């Protein structure tokens, strides 16, 4: 019912920048919040940033001041502008959306397939 498609990953040098995108499509009533998570090899998936329907943003301490999450509400798309990238930012980045399928329903979490970010030193 809901599909999330990420794009924008790739290889970047340490200190460089990269911009990720995530587009949501399908049949739903509303998207209450969207965010980014990441998972490096051998590590647990960790939360990176969230943006709400009202465009409030929150960030993990590890990326605060370097990453910026934004949204295009009309297109159900979010972005993650990543700057000053470090080797520890290398991971598979996943998009998450808290989706309300019907007007009176609870939010359901959906995930994208992810996009790989590699940071070379």
Is the model's pLDDT at 72 over the cut of 90? yes
* pLDDT tens-place string over residues 93-120: 999 999 999 998 899 999 999 999 999 9
What is the rounded average pLDDT of the residues 29-45?
Answer: 97
**Burial environment of residue 97 by CB neighbours within 10 A (0 to 12, 13 to 18, 19 or more):** buried
């Amino acid at each position: 019912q809901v599909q999330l498609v990420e794009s924008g990953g790739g290889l970047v040098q340490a200190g460089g920048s990269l911009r990720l995108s995530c587009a949501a499509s399908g049949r739903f009533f509303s998207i209450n919040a969207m965010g980014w998570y990441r998972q490096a090899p051998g590590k647990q998936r960790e939360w990176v940033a969230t943006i709400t329907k009202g465009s409030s943003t929150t960030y993990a301490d590890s990326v605060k001041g370097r990453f910026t999450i934004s949204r295009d509400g009309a297109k159900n798309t979010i972005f993650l502008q990543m700057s000053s990238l470090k080797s520890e930012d290398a991971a598979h980045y996943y998009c998450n959306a808290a989706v309300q399928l019907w007007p009176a329903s609870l939010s359901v979490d959906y995930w994208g397939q992810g996009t790989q970010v590699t940071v070379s030193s």
